[in-house]
Each structure stands twice: as C-alpha cells, then as structure tokens.
Structure 1
Amino acid sequence: MARPRGRIKTARVTVNLDDRAYSALQTIADHEDAPVAQIARRAIMDFLVREGSRVQQPVLPLRGSFARQSAEERR
C-alpha cells in the first residue's frame, strides 16, 4: 500500500513508543516488507475509520445553486 502522492496535503506527526510497541511494529513491517511508517499510517487510518462514527463532524455550508434549493426542491 503506497502512500498517496500529488495534491493530498500531509502533516508530519511524531510518536514516542516504548521498546515493546516499537518491536511489535517493526516485526509487522518486516513481515510485510514495508516501512514502519507505512504500517503506522495504516494503523492510524484503521483507527480513524473505526472511531469516526463517534466523532461529530462539522457541517460545511453548501455553495452554489444547490445550496439555495430547499429539501423539497431537491427531491
């Protein structure tokens, strides 16, 4: 699973792990022949998907003609 490239904006995050957790992460990375960072990104994304339904998402305003239509008009 390669990291997406191109227009996707990314942020750098530093995480401190104890020796046991890092060793487990390294073992998985070695087994999958992948960098530790890739395994960590996948674990974070899996966590966000799993927990995402519990997080209140902000409501973004709509723009353009669709925003001016009422719910009845869109049906």
Structure 2
Amino acid sequence: MNIKVLGTGCTNCKKLEANAKEAVKELGLDNVTIEKVEDIPSIMKYGVMKTPALVIDEQVKVMGKVAKTDEIKKLIQK
C-alpha cells in the first residue's frame, strides 16, 4: 500500500502526515510506504485544489482537512 500526503509543508500538512504514520503504526502494517508530496505540479495531477490531502493507492481519500488517526485507519482498512 502506498500513502501520499499532499501539501506544501504547512502545519496542517505535517499533522496529517503524523496522523497517517500513527494510523499505520496502530494497525501494525509493515508493507506501507508513506510519501510526502510538496511540489505543486505533482499535487495538481491529483486534481487537489485544497491541501492537505491524503491519497491511498493513487485515490484521493481526503482533501482540505486534517483527517484524524481513526478516520485514516478506517480508510486504510477499506
């Protein structure tokens, strides 16, 4: 599984990244990569207009808000 956190490095983007890492840790997953994407052209490829955004396996799951750890865990398990 590949998780991407899209954002330019703002406080909310960093919090979303931390929540994603915590969700993966709490689920005990070891086959997950978490990548931070900060460059605007790459973010735009996903059609994201508001950051932060969370992408799981190339599908935008959250946009324009900081998802809580429990919400991210549910998205990962789907």
The structure where strand makes up a greater share of residues is 2
Q: Who wins on radius of gyration, i.e. which is larger?
A: 1
| Same fold per superposition (TM over 0.5) | no
